[in-house]
C-alpha cells in the first residue's frame, strides 16, 4: 500500500537518479537518521553504547571499506586487521604529537595515512589475482602487526608496548578516555559512519564505482573497453583503506581506549570483517550495515541465551558461536550468495506488489 512508485513523479534528472527514488524509502531513510541522531543519544547508556552501538557503527565503517574493495572491485583482502592497526597507530601518533588539534582531523588524517599504506600493498594486485592476491594481502596483515610490535617509536616507547588513548575533546565534549559520555562517543562515531556511508554510496554510483565493477566482473574485458586497471584497482585500495583506517582509529581511540596490537587487530579481525561483508551482501552498502549488525548482535544474543538463560559456561557458548558463524557463512553462500542485502531487496520487491502480487 505504502511502498509504491505510483504517484511519485520525477520531473528532473536529479530527482530521478537520487539514491532513494521511492518516496517511502526516502522517508524511512530520514526517519532512521532522525532516530539515530536525535532520539538515541538521549536514551543511550554505557552498556548499549559499549556492547552494541559503538562496535556496530565502527564495524559498519570497516565493512563499507572492505565491501568497496571486495564487493565492488573484486579484490579479496585478508589484511583488514592490519590496515585497521595502521589507522589506530596513525591516530595515536597524531593524538600524542598534536594534542590541540581536533579529533575529527586526527581521525581523517589517520584514514589518509592508511589509504597511502593500502595503495602500497595494493600495488601487487596489478600482477596478482584471485587467491594469490588474497594470500598476498596476508603479507600486509602479518608484516604490519609485526612492525607495530617491534618498532618502539610507534607506541611512544611505552614499557608495556600498548597504546593508550589520551583524553581528547571535540567542541568541549570529551570523546576519548574513561570520562567520555556514552552519548558523545556514540554521536562522534555516528557522524563518521553516516558520512562514510554517504560518500561510499555516491562513489559506487558514479564513474569510479562503475570502473570498479567493470574490473570486478572481468578485468581484461574492462581494460579493453578503456577502464584503466591501475587507476581503478589502486583507487579501490585507497578508498577502502581510508574507511578501514577510520574504523581502526575509532576502534582504538573511542571504543577500546587501550590496544595491544596482536590481540585487537589479529587475523581474526580480518576474517570477522570479511564475514560481515559476505553475510551482509557483497557489493551493497546496506549489506555492510546489515552484516555488521548481525555479527555484533549474534555474540550478544548467544551470550544472553546461553549463559543467562541456559546457564552454560562461557567457553561452550564461545564454541557454539564459532559453529553458528561457520554454518551461517556456508548457509548464506549456498542459499543466498548475495547475503542479507538480497533478502532485503526481495522483501522490497514483494512489498511493491503487495497485496496484489499478480
Partner 1 sequence: MSDQFVFAMEVTLNGLMAGVLYALVALGFVLIYKASGIFNFAQGVMALFAAMTLVGIMNGQVPFAHLINATFGTDLHHFGWHLPALLAIALTVGVMVLLAWCVQRFVFRHLVGQEPIILFMATIGLAYFLEGVADLMWGSEIKTLDVCLFGETGCLPQGINETIDTVTYGWFGYGFFIDNLDITATIVAAILVIALIAFSQYTKQGRALRAVADDHQAALSVGISLNFIWVLVWSLAGFVALVAGIMWGAKSGVQFSLSLIALKALPVLMLGGFTSIPGAIVGGLIIGVGEKLFEFAIGAPFLGGATENWFAYVLALVFLVFRPQGLFGEKIIERV
Instruction: Provide the binding-site residues for partner 1, judged by CB under 8 A.
Output: 76, 124, 127-132, 134-136, 138-139, 142-143, 145-146, 149-151, 218, 220-221, 224, 267, 271, 274-275, 278, 310-313, 315-316, 319-330, 333-334, 337
Check if the beta carbon of residue 193 is closer than 8 Å to that of residue 61. yes
- In whole angstroms, how close is the CB of 174 to partner 1 at the nearest point? 36
Check if the beta carbon of residue 317 is closer than 8 Å to that of residue 303. yes
Q: What CA–CA distance (Å, rounded) separates 142 from 269?
A: 12
Q: What CA–CA distance (Å, rounded) separates 302 from 317?
A: 7
Q: What CA–CA distance (Å, rounded) separates 49 from 175?
A: 13
- In whole angstroms, how close is the CB of 124 to partner 1 at the nearest point? 6
- In whole angstroms, how close is the CB of 274 to partner 1 at the nearest point? 8
Specify the residue, 87 or 339, whose C-beta has the smaller distance to partner 1. 339
Q: What CA–CA distance (Å, rounded) separates 31 from 179?
A: 31
Specify the residue, 301 or 337, whose C-beta has the smaller distance to partner 1. 337
- In whole angstroms, how close is the CB of 335 to partner 1 at the nearest point? 8
Residue closest to 187 by CA, chosen among 92, 49, 91, 28: 49
Specify the residue, 22 or 134, whose C-beta has the smaller distance to partner 1. 134
- In whole angstroms, how close is the CB of 130 to partner 1 at the nearest point? 7
Q: What CA–CA distance (Å, rounded) separates 113 from 246?
A: 10
Specify the residue, 97 or 135, whose C-beta has the smaller distance to partner 1. 135
- In whole angstroms, how close is the CB of 234 to partner 1 at the nearest point? 15
Q: What CA–CA distance (Å, rounded) separates 323 from 202?
A: 37
What backbone torsions phi and psi does residue 170 show, to the nearest 5 degrees? -120, 125
Specify the residue, 27 or 331, whose C-beta has the smaller distance to partner 1. 331
- In whole angstroms, how close is the CB of 136 to partner 1 at the nearest point? 5
Which residues, 6 or more positions from 70, have their beta carbon under 8 angstroms from its beta carbon? Answer: 76, 77, 274, 277, 282
- In whole angstroms, how close is the CB of 347 to partner 1 at the nearest point? 23
| C-alpha distances out from residue 246 to 46, 97, 259, Å | 22, 18, 15
Q: What CA–CA distance (Å, rounded) separates 100 from 87?
A: 19
Specify the residue, 70 or 114, whose C-beta has the smaller distance to partner 1. 70
Specify the residue, 333 or 347, whose C-beta has the smaller distance to partner 1. 333
Q: What CA–CA distance (Å, rounded) separates 329 from 336?
A: 10
Specify the residue, 18 or 158, whose C-beta has the smaller distance to partner 1. 158
Amino acid at each position: 500500500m505504502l511502498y509504491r512508485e505510483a504517484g511519485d513523479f520525477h520531473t528532473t534528472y536529479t530527482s530521478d537518479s537520487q539514491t532513494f527514488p521511492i518516496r517511502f524509502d526516502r522517508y524511512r531513510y530520514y526517519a532512521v537518521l532522525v532516530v539515530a541522531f536525535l532520539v538515541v543519544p538521549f536514551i543511550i547508556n554505557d552498556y548499549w553504547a559499549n556492547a552494541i552501538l559503538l562496535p556496530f557503527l565502527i564495524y559498519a565503517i570497516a565493512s563499507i571499506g572492505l565491501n568497496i574493495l571486495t564487493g565492488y572491485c573484486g579484490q579479496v583482502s585478508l589484511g583488514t586487521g592490519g590496515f585497521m592497526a595502521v589507522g589506530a597507530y596513525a591516530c595515536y601518533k597524531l593524538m600524542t604529537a598534536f594534542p590541540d588539534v581536533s579529533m575529527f582531523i586526527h581521525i581523517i588524517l589517520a584514514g589518509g595515512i592508511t589509504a597511502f599504506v593500502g595503495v602500497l600493498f595494493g600495488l601487487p594486485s596489478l600482477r596478482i589475482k584471485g587467491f594469490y592476491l588474497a594470500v598476498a594481502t596476508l603479507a600486509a596483515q602479518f608484516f604490519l602487526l609485526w612492525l607495530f610490535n617491534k618498532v618502539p617509536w610507534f607506541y611512544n616507547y611505552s614499557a608495556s608496548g600498548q597504546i593508550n588513548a589520551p583524553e581528547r575533546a571535540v567542541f568541549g565534549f570529551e570523546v576519548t578516555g574513561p570520562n567520555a559520555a556514552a552519548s558523545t562517543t556514540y554521536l562522534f562515531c555516528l557522524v563518521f559512519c553516516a558520512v562514510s556511508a554517504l560518500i561510499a554510496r555516491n562513489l559506487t554510483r558514479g564513474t569510479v564505482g562503475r570502473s570498479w565493477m567493470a574490473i570486478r566482473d572481468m578485468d581484461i574485458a574492462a581494460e579493453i573497453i578503456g577502464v584503466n586497471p591501475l587507476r581503478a584497482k589502486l583507487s579501490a585500495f585507497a578508498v577502502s583503506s581510508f574507511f578501514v583506517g577510520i574504523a581502526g582509529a575509532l576502534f582504538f581511540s573511542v571504543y577500546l581506549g587501550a590496544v595491544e596490537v596482536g590481540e585487537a587487530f589479529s587475523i581474526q579481525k580480518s576474517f570477522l570483517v570479511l564475514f560481515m561483508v559476505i553475510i551482509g551482501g557483497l557489493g551493497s552498502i546496506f549489506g555492510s550495515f546489515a552484516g555488521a549488525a548481525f555479527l555484533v548482535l549474534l555474540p550478544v544474543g548467544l551470550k544472553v541465551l546461553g549463559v543467562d538463560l541456559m546457564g552454560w559456561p562461557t567457553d561452550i557458548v564461545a564454541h557454539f558461536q564459532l559453529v553458528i558463524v561457520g554454518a551461517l557463512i556456508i548457509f548464506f553462500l549456498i542459499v543466498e550468495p548475495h547475503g542479507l542485502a538480497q533478502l532485503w531487496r526481495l522483501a522490497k520487491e514483494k512489498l511493491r506488489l503487495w497485496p496484489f502480487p499478480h
